[in-house]
Amino acid sequence: MNGNDNLAQLIKSLSKREKGYFKRYIQKGNKKVNHKYLRLFETIDRDKNPNDNSEIFQYLPERKNYLYNLILKSLRNYNSVHGRMAANVQIFNSALNCIILAKKGIEQAWRKELKKVERLAKLIDREDMVIFVLGNLIGKPEQKNSINISDKMVEYAEKLYNRTQFYQINEKMYDSLIKSSTGNTIYLSIINTLIQNPLLSTEKNAITHDSKFFFYCTHLGYNIFKNDFIKASRYVDKLIVLALQGPIPRTRWVLQSIGMLLELSFRQNDKKKYMEVLKMADELRTKVTYSNKLLHEASIFEFIESQQILFYTNNGNFSKAIELIPPLQNGLRDYAHLLFNNNSLRIYYSIAYAYWGNSDYDDSLDWLNKIFMKFKSSNELRLFRKAKILYLLTQFEIGNQLILPSILGSTQRFLYKQDALHKYENLFLELLKRLNKTVRNVENTKIFQLYQKKLNLLNEETKQQEELHYFDLASWIQSKIDKQPYTEMVKHRADKQV
């Protein structure tokens, strides 16, 4: 009886549109079979007071259960097409139409679309979409006063627009910082232009919590680029305070910022600064309560613990770096699904490079091959390019002279196809081509001396060096000239920096 009550109540609760939709829905299948269920549906719908003697009960319970589930299935489909999901699609489309028409200057049309957005927003409680539209329209001062919206809504829109501006500046800054590491001077000028944006002149221009966050991140990235550890650490301190004050603690972002500062301490080869940054990370752990402990542990591993191996490779202490590999392997296993793709690649590469610096070329090749299998090729992951170079260098070191020309050609084609050849990559490939054509060591020494001069000129031209904790080309060339181990040359360079 309960099943009958549920079926009858469900049918009686349907609106006229829902009933019409169900009838069309049921006729899409086997018409001969579904006709029986349609008849049962109509019988229950007509019967105002169904009871045990009514026509309904001539049907088997199985059929009534099937009809009950069929109606629910049609309602799910109906709601996905006609309900909130459809309204979300409609409001998003109208929002984009409004912005496009406003940019085209067709006022009557964009106002019509804005009214649609407002109407739909009230129906499905999506006021944020109105703010999204206004946030784009506010960008045009002449339209700000012509929009018939409450002052509170305009205030929201201005805040959103302010946040969007700082977000876009921050995105451009970090994109340019990544690309500038290749030695491309175009991105150096973009970085210098971005930092001169009037919005970045004072913190007061950032009027929202998120805007301040992006303001600090942008200045942090720039100061790391300029190798100014003191200013960079100040911005990390501000990020920590801001993250703890916000409605949602952005500790993952802050840990990433601390990781950037940690990398700067590697480049400057300053152990005191290195320890200061680690202390920052420890203090952050004690100040924040984490709702997702596993994600926090993964973030600590990803941005802090996994970078410590780079401190030792940068100093030429490859034997110590090798000792850190087992914990890294454990972290890769335990947090694989939580790590950013580019950071996973960095860890894989760090292990491959540690083995390479320790002259364990077979183990290095194993990890390089893991990179090529796991990450494939990606223009966004600059370390993938470095992995290609390190693979080529490994083949040279183990003396695979027969296959080296083929690997050189394929590597050059790959790098050029991805994003043209970067200056350091081009210099390295030219060097290997020259070396592969010579047999005598005397000639090799002269070639190394020639390319050492070219590398020095390139460093002067770009005003920076390659990321030495990933591979030190200058130390490798010097090791070949002096007939000394690569590790000794890296240590010597690190000692000179201090």
The pTM is what? 0.64
Per-residue confidence of the chain (498 residues) as pLDDT tens digits? 445 568 888 888 888 878 888 888 877 766 556 777 888 888 888 876 655 445 555 556 777 888 888 888 888 776 655 555 566 677 777 777 877 787 777 878 877 887 887 777 766 656 666 666 666 665 544 454 555 555 655 666 677 778 878 888 988 898 888 777 655 667 788 888 999 999 999 999 998 888 898 999 999 999 988 888 899 999 988 888 887 776 555 677 788 888 888 888 877 777 788 888 888 887 777 766 666 678 778 888 888 888 889 888 888 899 999 999 999 999 999 988 888 888 888 899 999 999 999 999 999 999 999 988 887 655 456 778 888 889 999 998 988 878 888 888 888 888 777 665 677 888 888 898 888 777 656 678 889 999 899 888 887 776 555 565 678 888 999 999 999 999 999 888 887 765
- Contact status, residue 8 vs residue 50, Cβ threshold 8 Å: yes
Rounded to whole angstroms, the Cα distance separating 155 from 144 reads: 11
Q: CA-to-CA distance for 477 and 489, rounded, in angstroms?
A: 9
**Domain residues of the chain, as ranges?**
2-82, 85-149
For residue 284, what are the CA distances in angstroms to 198, 288, 396? 32, 6, 45
Cα(450)–Cα(91) distance, integer angstroms: 64
- Side-chain half-sphere of 71: how many Cα atoms within 13 Å? 25
| Sign for the pseudo-dihedral over CA of 404, 410, 416, 419 | negative
